[in-house]
Every structure is written in structure tokens, then in C-alpha cells.
Structure 1
Amino acid sequence: MRPSILDRARDQVLEQGIGLDEKQILEVLQLGDEHIAEALQLAHEVRMRWCGPEVEVEGIISLKTGGCPEDCHFCSQSGLFSSPVRSVWLDIPSLVEAAKQTAATGASEFCIVAAVRGPDAKLMKQMREGVAAIKAAVDIQVAASLGMLNQEQVDELVEMGVHRYNHNLETCRSHFPNVVTTHSWEERWDTLRMVRESGMEVCCGGILGLGETLEQRAEFAAQLAELQPHEVPLNFLNPRPGTPMGDLPVVDAKDALRAIAAFRLALPKTILRYAGGREITLGDLGTREGLLGGVNAVIVGNYLTTLGRPAGEDLALLAELKMPVKALSAAL
């Protein structure tokens, strides 16, 4: 028998465009294995109706890697753990070359990331020079992820021409203190509020598999829906040696697919982006199922400290599924 939550979601989300609430999201996350395909099919219909068939492709690059003073328990870039990543700065020519390579894949988006609590004067100067050099050399949108911001820094990024800012909440408010202790969930929320008010697009997601319960996973999806970000990157924990969460298990593939459907049904009009960890959690088959289950954006190539799928494989899969890559002009 078809679960009643899927019938309600068909009317509420597919027909009306109203996302599921926290209680309803939990019902989707608790669906039996025999109903996963139905949930993914409905999520795909929702994506096609409210977002269309296009897929946004993005590449990311780390401007400043490692040596971060924060203690995000999943992250090998923290300077507080014994994980192997050490502090490295990328020069401007390398940044421009990475942007060119990203654009060559057909991507419309290039995100510059730094492992910091928030940007200092040196990083902001590097960003200003880097964004200007990229814009002079290649036709691609530039996004940034530089940690927590103050209002002056938000205004500077707008002036530079950064069109989207990524700052992940990582997990729900109730679970956050178990994941990070050196800053609060509320501090991250304040940065996102300033970004939204500045006119930049808000990119905010998180990582599943940080020890949260299904109830907390539903809480997280509902809190993202309250924020109404333009984009939600959905990561799955890839446990990093030397971090406090290095021994956590990889998210079960079926749980990951349930989550993809649930997040799409909670966020019917939002870009839902495949991000880190999908390779070890879902593999090639699961990646296909997610793209046919609500996901409408991908990060191609490698991530910040872990390997991803080759860009060509993702692009070939999109072509096979007849999902057009969103052109730069459509992303402007």
C-alpha cells in the first residue's frame, strides 16, 4: 500500500509547491525500503515541475587550505586535529587556471573556498585580486565560501562581484554543539542573514552522517527551508582520519536516497546540489538514482580534501539522462 505521506506530498508539494514540514519530512525519512523508488520518483517530478530539467554544474577550489582554528569535528582542515592537511595558500595564476579548467567542463559556477573562521585583511585582498583576475580571463560566475563574515566584508564581496556565498549550517541547531564547539550555530545563521540582505544568493547546506538522528535530520531540512537558500549542497560524511568523526560509519545508501527525496520534498524550488561523499555513499548507480530523484546540481571534479568523480563521467551521465547543463547566460 502506498504510504499516505507520499499522497499528501503529491498534493502539497507537487501540485501546490509547498514544502513538507518537519513532521512530514521525518515520515519520508522513515519510509520502508520498498517505498524508496516511489519517493524518488515523486521528488523527481517535483524537481521537474518547479525547477525544470537543467542541471547546474560547479567547480570548487581552495584558496587557503588547512590550518583552520575551528574544531569542526568532521574536517581535516582544522589545525586542532592530527589529520594530515597542512596550511597552504594558492597563488592568483593557479586560481585563474582552475577557473578556466572549470569553465571548460561547461560549468557556470566557480566557488573559491578558504579554511578559516572568517576572512582577515590578507584573505580579502587575495579575494579581490583573484576575483578580478578570474573575471578578466574567463566567463564564469564566481562564488565564495570564507567562513563567518561581518557587514563590511559582506559589502566588499558584493562590490567585487561575488554573486553567491556558501556558508553551511552543517547540521541542525540541536545537534550542532556535538559537531562544533568553537563557534555557534547562531553565528553561522547571522552571516547567512547578512548575505541574504546584501542581495547575494545564499548557498547553505550541510553534511549527513554526523551522528544525527533521523529526527535531527528532519529538523535540519526544516531549518534550511525556513532559511530559503537559493542552493543547498548535500554532503555525506566521508570520514577523515585524525578527526573526531574519523571512525563514524558511512551513511547507508538507502538512507542517503531517502534523504535526497526528503530534502527535495522539503525544498521544492531550491537548487539541490550533489556535493562531497556521494562517491563512497552512493557509487555510480546511486549517483544516477539521486539525479532521477530530485538532485539538480553537481560539483564536478575533486572536493577540498577528498577525491570526487572525474568531471567527464558526471557530464556523460547528464547527457545520457538528457539533462541539459545550465548555460552561463541562464545562471546570470
Structure 2
Amino acid sequence: MSDTLQPVSISPRPGLAKASRPPLAADVARKAIRAAEVALLDERRMLTADELAELAHVPDSAVPSLAALAHEVRLSWCGPEVEVEGILSAKTGGCPEDCHFCSQSAAFDTPVKATPFLDTEEVLAAARETAELGASEFCIVLAVRGPDERTMGRILELVPLVKAETGLNVAVSAGILTADQAQRLGEGGVHRYNHNLETAASFFPRVVTTHDYAERLETCELVRANGMELCCGALLGMGESVDQRLELIEQLRSVEPAEVPLNFLNPRPGTPLGEAPIVEALEAIRWIAMFRLGLPSVILRYAGGREITLRELQIMGMTSGINALIVGNYLTTLGRTPDEDLQMLDDLKMPIGVLGKVI
């Protein structure tokens, strides 16, 4: 048999993750999707790793069916509400970590330069704008390895001020935490703490070298142990394989997040991944559905990269398992206008609400 007929490893188009086996035949794909429907909607149980792996290999023609099931699972497990969040980069650039996707790293020559912590009124003004959109969550994000004592003091000052003035739940993303810091943030009123796994443990060393995966996992455990909801997300499109995306879903299951922001790589000039291909739209829909089917009870949030990846298919993503979104701009990239997203939700008759993890 010639090499061209051996489907050992599928060479993907740019923007597609490498698969370790060929796509399922159409009839096998239909049976796999039907079996997942029975498991998740009738038996109301989590899919096994093997069941998820089979779904990951349905052909492109079956992705709309996979997405339709994911939408039904979202409605059944989480309800119809969509949670809206605004985020603010309160301390931008100059981060000592070398995350290869991030333009805020001091290790790379990017257009993003270090700026000091925003003053209190700037943070409050951003929170007020977020509240006016009907959002329920406001996340203060800092480009740091972890908070020093001065930063801890500023966070613990801001959280109750934002809550008192706007009524918003306040989330924080400030890197790796110690046990003492996690306790103080929990006691200080932080509702959710964001600490993304980003990718699978097996792929992580290709993306970050200045800290290891165990440190991320430890922070995730500290967040939950101190009464905060864990927001723990993924970034797809960095060169990881299908198997590694499935590995990431299993690792996210293990840390039991309340929320999973789903990001797609938006290549940033000057970073090691600055020339990486953009994830294809149908590929993004496939993996939105896969993350919902693998994590049926979480708040699955549209996050960075959706605009360039999905383009006019963003509305389809909302019917593929998504039940939360960040409105406005991201940390260093522009998003759609809030009005566009709110109109999308109105067109879909999706009510805005406050969400928590289904237990």
C-alpha cells in the first residue's frame, strides 16, 4: 500500500488540529451522536473519555448535528440564560512569564508596553459601563506572574468598592497564588478567580517555559478550597492535536471549574505564535460543541478570538453550547461592540441572567 493511502496521521489544513485517526463514516457518526444524546439528555450522565474521543472525529458534515446536540445539552443542564461579563486590563504588559501567545510578555518585542495599575476611578468607571450593559460579572485582570503585597492590597481595596457601587460580582485574574493569597481573596469578596489551564499538560511545555502545569493546577485547587468559583479556560489553535484537546477537556473536568472561557488564538505580532494560522470557523464550532458535551454543567463563555475565527458564524456558536460571553474589548485586542452582542442575544431570544455551576 502506498504512503498516501495510510491514514495514520491526517495532515490538516491550516487552522485544523492534527487527528490521530480518520473521520468516522457518516453512519457511525450518526450513531455516536445519538448515543451521546441518550447519555446526556436521557440518562443525564457525563460522557466517558472514549465517547468524547469518538465524537471528536465525526466528519465535517456532521458538525451541525453535533452543535445542535450541544445546544440541547446546554439548555437541559444549564437553562436558557446567558451570562454577560466585562473585563478590564487593570495592569497591562511587562509580565515576566513567556506564554508564547501573549503580547503582554516582557520576553517578546510586541507593541504592548508595560503600564502601571489603573487608578481607582478608572476601574470604577469601567465597572459602571459594564453594569449599564446588563452584565452581572466584572473581571479585573493583571499581567503578572502572581500578585505581590502591593497588588494584593489594591485588589482587596477595589473588590468591595466595585461591588458596592455597581452591584456586580467581581472576578479577578492575577496569576499564580499562594495559599495565603487565595484565602485573603476569598475572604475579601472575590466571586470568581480566573486561572486558565490554556492547553493540555502534554502540550504546555511548548507554550510556556517559565512555570509548569503543576503550578497552574495548584492555583486552581486553592481557588476552590477558599470558596471562590473557579474560572478556568482554554486557548485553541496553538498547534495542539485533537488528542491534546481531548486531554485538556479531561484536565478541566478534574479541576471542576464553574466557568470555562473558550478562546481561539488571535496571533499577536512579535510573539512566537504571531504567524500561526487562524482556527477555521467550522473547526471552532466543532470544539465549542465538544467542550459543551464534555463539560455539560459549566458556564461556557465566548472569549478572545471569536471575531476573527467565526466571523459571521458567531451566532451559530451561541447555538452550539455557549451560554456566556465577554462583551466589549479583550485585554489587548478589540472585540465587537457591546450593542452587536446584545442584539445577537435579542435576536436569539436568549435572556441575560446570572449563572452558577449546576451541581
Alignment partner of 1:25 is 2:52: yes
1:144 to 165, 172, 193: 172
2:318 to 291, 306, 315: 291
3-state DSSP class of the match of 1:110? strand
3-state DSSP class of the match of 1:233? strand
User: May I ask how many residue pairs the two structures share in their alignment?
Assistant: 330
Asked if structure 1 preserves the Cα contact closer than 8 Å seen for 2:85 and 2:135, the reply is: yes
Alignment partner of 1:252 is 2:280: yes
1:176 to 185, 189, 204: 204
3-state DSSP class of the match of 1:7? helix
Tell me how far apart the structure 2 counterparts of residues 20 and 86 of structure 1 sit (CA, whole Å): 44
Asked if structure 1 preserves the Cα contact closer than 8 Å seen for 2:298 and 2:357, the reply is: no
Deviates more, 1:93-102 or 1:124-133: 124-133
Could you tell me which residue of structure 2 aligns to residue 303 of structure 1? Answer: 330
Gaps (5+ residues) in structure 2?
Answer: 1-26
> Do the aligned partners of residues 328 and 260 (structure 1) sit closer, same or farther apart at CA in structure 2, a change above 3 Å counting?
closer
- Aligned partner letter, 1:302: N
Tell me how far apart the structure 2 counterparts of residues 21 and 81 of structure 1 sit (CA, whole Å): 40
2:350 to 289, 311, 323: 323
1:81-133 Cα offsets, whole Å, 9 max, x none, are: 01111111211100000000000000000000001110001111111221132
Alignment partner of 1:52 is 2:83: no
* 1:23-102 alignment runs, 5 A limit: 23-88=50-115, 89-102=117-130
3-state DSSP class of the match of 1:102? helix
Deviation at 1:322, TM superposition (A): 0.6
Could you tell me which residue of structure 2 aligns to residue 5 of structure 1? Answer: 32
Tell me how far apart the structure 2 counterparts of residues 17 and 245 of structure 1 sit (CA, whole Å): 40
Tell me how far apart the structure 2 counterparts of residues 160 and 226 of structure 1 sit (CA, whole Å): 26
Alignment partner of 1:275 is 2:303: yes
Asked if structure 1 preserves the Cα contact closer than 8 Å seen for 2:297 and 2:357, the reply is: no
Deviates more, 1:321-330 or 1:264-273: 321-330
Alignment partner of 1:124 is 2:152: yes
Percent identity over paired residues: 54
Which structure is richer in relative contact order (CA contacts within 8 A, separation 6 or more)? 1
Tell me how far apart the structure 2 counterparts of residues 226 and 129 of structure 1 sit (CA, whole Å): 32
Asked if structure 2 preserves the Cα contact closer than 8 Å seen for 1:17 and 1:268, the reply is: no
Deviation at 1:327, TM superposition (A): 4.7
3-state DSSP class of the match of 2:230? strand
- Aligned partner letter, 1:54: E
Tell me how far apart the structure 2 counterparts of residues 8 and 327 of structure 1 sit (CA, whole Å): 31
Deviation at 1:222, TM superposition (A): 1.5
1:248-300 Cα offsets, whole Å, 9 max, x none, are: 1001111111101111000111110000000000013x211111111000000
Tell me how far apart the structure 2 counterparts of residues 43 and 87 of structure 1 sit (CA, whole Å): 40
Gaps (5+ residues) in structure 1?
Answer: none
3-state DSSP class of the match of 1:57? strand
Tell me how far apart the structure 1 counterparts of residues 218 and 254 of structure 2 sit (CA, whole Å): 14
Asked if structure 1 preserves the Cα contact closer than 8 Å seen for 2:299 and 2:355, the reply is: no
Asked if structure 1 preserves the Cα contact closer than 8 Å seen for 2:144 and 2:175, the reply is: yes
* 1:142-291 alignment runs, 5 A limit: 142-284=170-312, 286-291=313-318
Asked if structure 2 preserves the Cα contact closer than 8 Å seen for 1:17 and 1:269, the reply is: no
- Aligned partner letter, 2:326: I
TM-score, normalised by the number of residues in structure 2: 0.89
Alignment partner of 1:106 is 2:153: no
Asked if structure 1 preserves the Cα contact closer than 8 Å seen for 2:46 and 2:296, the reply is: yes
Deviation at 1:12, TM superposition (A): 1.2
1:42-63 Cα offsets, whole Å, 9 max, x none, are: 0000000010000000000011
Deviation at 1:329, TM superposition (A): 11
Deviation at 1:226, TM superposition (A): 2.0
> Do the aligned partners of residues 239 and 296 (structure 1) sit closer, same or farther apart at CA in structure 2, a change above 3 Å counting?
same
> Do the aligned partners of residues 262 and 144 (structure 1) sit closer, same or farther apart at CA in structure 2, a change above 3 Å counting?
same
1:173-208 Cα offsets, whole Å, 9 max, x none, are: 100000100000110000000111111101101100
Tell me how far apart the structure 1 counterparts of residues 301 and 45 of structure 2 sit (CA, whole Å): 20
> Do the aligned partners of residues 329 and 137 (structure 1) sit closer, same or farther apart at CA in structure 2, a change above 3 Å counting?
farther
> Do the aligned partners of residues 327 and 234 (structure 1) sit closer, same or farther apart at CA in structure 2, a change above 3 Å counting?
closer
Deviation at 1:330, TM superposition (A): 12
- Aligned partner letter, 1:75: C
1:216-254 Cα offsets, whole Å, 9 max, x none, are: 011111211222210100000000000001111001111
3-state DSSP class of the match of 2:141? strand
